[in-house]
């Protein structure tokens, strides 16, 4: 599967959750591609779900807690309270094809906590933005926060340096693509996945219709790097807070 981490809700509150795309099938122990029960190559798109949605939340909760307990010690009182809560897992029907998959990924992979079009008014003290209230059937509402509170909420969703927000598992993992992913592609009669490397010059000319290093004004001369001017100082680094500040 491909999993994308989101940490925010509509009001910039802390709401960690995953958006996952799961293949409608998988490889068995023999390395053969297996479809869900009562499915064929033609009918796979008509199937509702790969896994019964009624039990998905409960099974996910149990599996998650089991793996978590292998890593840390969880007091029984806390574990019991967590297991009594309803865990929400929302599943959609399969995509119609590759275009829909790319469109979905494009919406969720590079979003930030809030986009500019949701900002309605800004001044030195308060910020007003629009949001959808899903508890009220997705009604459009407005929220006004102090500038400090807005910055606090937004800062909660800045991930640590080097944190990987998008991960691929199973046949989509980097180490498995050349073998396992190609087994799935062979089953569906698709071309094999081959790792390709592209130069930025080729992408600029073929995809963007830009001639690399061409002067943007005269369109004739070739740009050459004469000198690289380095910044006068390095970027700001993390320092311990000064209590006197």
> Tens of pLDDT along 81-125?
988 888 877 777 777 778 888 888 888 887 889 989 999 999 889
Q: Is the pLDDT of residue 238 over 70?
A: no
Q: Which residue has the higher pLDDT, 240 or 62?
A: 62
Query: Which of 60, 104, 97 has the alpha carbon at shortest distance from 82?
Result: 60
By the 10 Å C-beta count (0-12 exposed, 13-18 middle, 19+ buried), 23 is classed as middle
CA distance 91 to 20: 9
Taking the CA of residue 85 as centre, how many other CA atoms within 13 Å lie in the half-sphere pointing to its CB?
A: 11
Cα distances (Å, whole numbers) of residue 14 to 8, 39, 43, 84, 185 = 5, 39, 40, 22, 39
Confidence label for 146 from pLDDT (cuts 50, 70 and 90): very high
Confidence label for 48 from pLDDT (cuts 50, 70 and 90): low
Return the H-helix or E-strand segment holding 130.
strand 126-133
Strand order in the sheet with 119-122: 119-122, 126-133, 139-146
> Tens of pLDDT along 147-197?
999 999 999 999 888 899 999 999 999 888 888 988 888 888 888 888 888
Hey, which residues does 167 pair with through a beta bridge? 3
Q: Is the pLDDT of residue 245 over 50?
A: no
pLDDT averaged over every residue in the chain: 84
Confidence label for 216 from pLDDT (cuts 50, 70 and 90): confident
What per-residue confidence (pLDDT) applies to 39? Answer: 61
Q: Is the pLDDT of residue 240 over 70?
A: no
Tokens of 147: 């500038």
Largest CA distance in the chain: 74
Tokens of 157: 């969703």
Mean pLDDT of 135-153: 93
CA distance 40 to 49: 14
């Amino acid at each position: 599967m491909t999993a994308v981490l989101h940490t925010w809700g509509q009001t910039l509150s802390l709401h960690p959750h995953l958006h996952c795309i799961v293949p409608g099938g998988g490889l068995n122990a023999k390395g053969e591609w297996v479809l869900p029960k009562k499915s064929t190559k033609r009918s796979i798109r008509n199937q509702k779900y790969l896994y019964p949605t009624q039990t998905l939340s409960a099974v996910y909760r149990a599996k998650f807690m089991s793996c978590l307990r292998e890593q840390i010690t969880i007091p029984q009182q806390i574990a019991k309270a967590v297991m009594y809560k309803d865990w929400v897992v929302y599943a959609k029907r399969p995509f119609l094809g590759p275009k829909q998959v790319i469109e979905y990924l494009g919406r969720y992979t590079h979003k930030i906590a809030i986009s500019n079009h949701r900002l309605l008014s800004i001044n030195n003290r308060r910020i007003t933005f629009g949001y959808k209230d899903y508890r009220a059937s997705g009604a459009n509402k407005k929220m006004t926060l102090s500038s400090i509170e807005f910055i606090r909420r937004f800062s909660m969703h800045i991930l640590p340096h080097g944190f990987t927000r998008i991960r691929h598992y199973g046949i989509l993992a980097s180490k498995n693509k050349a073998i396992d992913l190609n087994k799935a592609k062979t089953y569906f009669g698709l071309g094999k996945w081959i790792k390709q490397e592209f130069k930025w010059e080729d992408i600029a000319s073929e995809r963007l219709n830009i001639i690399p290093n061409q002067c943007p004004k005269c369109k004739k001369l070739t740009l050459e790097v004469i000198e690289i001017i380095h910044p006068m100082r390095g970027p700001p680094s993390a320092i311990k807070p000064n209590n006197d500040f």
